[in-house]
Amino acid sequence: MPKHSQLFLLTTLASAILTACGGSGGGGSTKTSLSGTVADGYLRGATVCLDINGNAACDTGEPSATTGDGGKYTLSDINAGDDTKYAVVVNVPAGAVDSDNPTGSVGKAYFLSSPAGKGGFISPVTTLIQQKLAAGASLEAAESAVKALLGITDTSVSLFSDYIAAQGSATQTDATTAGRYARAHEAGKVVAASLQAGYDSLKSDSNAKAVQKVLLAQAEDALTVQKATSTDTTSPTFSTTGVVAADSPNTLKKILAYEKNGWASATQSVSIDFGVVAGGQAVGCGLPLAGLGTKATSGQVKDLRFYITNVLLIDAQGNQVALKLDDNANQARDVALIDFEDATGKCPTSTGTATTYTTLTGKVVPGNYVGIAMTLGVPVKSADADKASLNHSDTTAATTPALLTSSAMAWSWQSGRKFSKIEFVPDTPITRPTGTTTTWNVHLGSTGCKGDPTKGIVTACTNPNRMDFSFAAFNASTQKIVLDLAELFKNSDLSYDGGGAAGCMSGTTDPECPGIFQALQIDLASGLPINGGAAQKVFAVKAK
């Protein structure tokens, strides 16, 4: 062979070898692609990425694609091996379209994920599995745990299979393999709805891993309650019209703050004073009040207690830092019982105490704080690592904090607490369609609850009814937080009760609740704060 031909062949061969190895000095590698499907129902318009840096978010430079019809996606130009090395993350924007509702968008953003090597089908169910992997479980153990949560013992069912295609026309009540895939699909809807309910309030946080951990724990609680209260716990059914574990933004932010920082560095002492007024009038047991509500009703308070939780101090940059409350008879597990009743006047000694409690204390990470946020209510669980049951806990159990054992603040029919017990007795009896009554109540509490705390079953509620509020400017040294009864009753006729419970006891159909919930800036239908309670005037900052 001529020398120039030999040289050409050697050059061609060398070039081929270099190309296979990624080129001469280019540091590249063989490329591949990853294709799959994204669903709650099939999702169109969602962003899929390979989570190369492991931060549970889609970042610039990571392979990404947008899902098309049927939830299909393809990640191209991936380094060979990366497709089985890194998890897949999906950002589902509010404008994405779900095939379960093809005529409209999903409405609220959320996220999905799937373990490394399992990007063929990504769903809310695979997202639960990925979270368990992140917590240290093996892939097999993580899938088994989620299967147990869904009541699926069929070994032929894989939670990484396309549950929509596999279910065909079956329903989740069918005792067939297809029916079990239908159950996985319905459970996925519950998880997605739960993630949507809380994601908006946390998605701006840079720690995506912590955000996802908090929200997926709530979603798993929702499934746990539905399984435990299903008519057939062996083959449970799941539904988004059942319990969706939603909660107020401040509740989620406090849990997230603990996940990120814990309490170890909280060493700066803080005291926050509370007061109560009715417009310009002083309020207390035995003190007369006038001009309240739409009919300018006069009378006296009979009880005035409420729970405060999720206290977050705000620095000049807008960062919210959790306050760890001190432990005492009126404070524990991040909850404080603020108590203005003193068992005098119309405040009965049978249900009240002479001792009041109007200042909460705690510790925070050292810093300069200019604002404050908090919640009126009791959370389902404590924010700390123990995640102890709080709102729905046994009032007689030795492990229940003292401030949650008061029978006066308990709702036996909900196994929960009255977040507020504000009771007003007009000078003239209250007119009702069936007669008269003496007391106009504001008993705020969670409703639509399922579960049984006495049996260790986590309890979740369709309507949390926790009130968030915040103040961009607050100085604990010179100012206090004041409850204004004139604002609370501004939209209410305290001389009349249209039916149901006397006053408002949080019922969605109670004619007295719309006015109270409007004042508290809680959506009566969902039990969630309206725009974070930004427009509320029931609580205000006043000088000490």
Per-residue confidence of the chain (544 residues) as pLDDT tens digits? 444 444 333 344 334 333 334 433 344 579 999 999 999 999 999 999 999 999 999 999 999 999 999 999 999 999 999 999 999 999 999 999 999 998 889 999 999 999 999 999 999 999 999 999 999 999 999 999 999 999 999 999 999 999 999 999 999 999 999 999 999 999 999 999 999 989 998 999 999 999 999 999 989 988 988 888 888 989 999 998 876 656 788 999 999 988 888 888 999 999 999 999 999 999 999 999 999 999 999 999 999 999 999 999 999 998 889 999 999 999 999 999 999 999 999 998 777 788 999 999 999 999 999 999 999 999 988 888 788 889 988 888 888 999 999 889 998 766 689 999 999 999 999 999 989 999 999 999 999 887 777 776 767 788 899 999 999 999 999 999 999 999 999 999 999 999 989 999 999 999 999 999 999 999 999 898 998 889 999 999 999 9
Kindly give the interhelix angle for 139-150 and 208-228, rounded to the nearest 10 degrees. 40
Co-location of 143 and 284 in the same domain? no
Element (H, E) at 297: strand 297-315
Co-location of 123 and 255 in the same domain? no
SS3 (DSSP) at 386: coil
Residue 239 inside a domain? The answer is no
pLDDT of residue 340: 97
SS3 (DSSP) at 44: strand
Residue 14 inside a domain? The answer is no
Residue 294 inside a domain? The answer is yes
pLDDT of residue 468: 96
| Separation CA 531–CA 544 (nearest Å) | 28
Co-location of 343 and 477 in the same domain? yes
Domains held by the chain: number: 2
Check residue 429 and report its DSSP letter: P
Whose CA is closest to 224, among 256, 254, 247, 194? Answer: 194
Co-location of 224 and 257 in the same domain? no
- The structure's pTM equals 0.85
Co-location of 219 and 312 in the same domain? no
| Separation CA 152–CA 144 (nearest Å) | 9
pLDDT of residue 387: 85
Tokens encoding 277 = 């007024």
Co-location of 531 and 382 in the same domain? yes
Chain center to CA of 317: 24
| Separation CA 350–CA 470 (nearest Å) | 35
pLDDT of residue 12: 40
Co-location of 404 and 501 in the same domain? yes
Determine the residue type at 63: P
Residue 445 inside a domain? The answer is yes
Residue 2 inside a domain? The answer is no
**Phi and psi at residue 230, to the nearest 5°:** -70, 150
What residue numbers bound the domain in which 41 lies? 31-228
CB of 90 closer than 8 Å to CB of 72: no
Check residue 208 and report its DSSP letter: H
SS3 (DSSP) at 166: helix
Residue 191 inside a domain? The answer is yes
Residue 384 inside a domain? The answer is yes
Co-location of 369 and 428 in the same domain? yes
Residue 473 inside a domain? The answer is yes
Whose CA is closest to 228, among 540, 52, 456? Answer: 456
| Separation CA 92–CA 85 (nearest Å) | 23
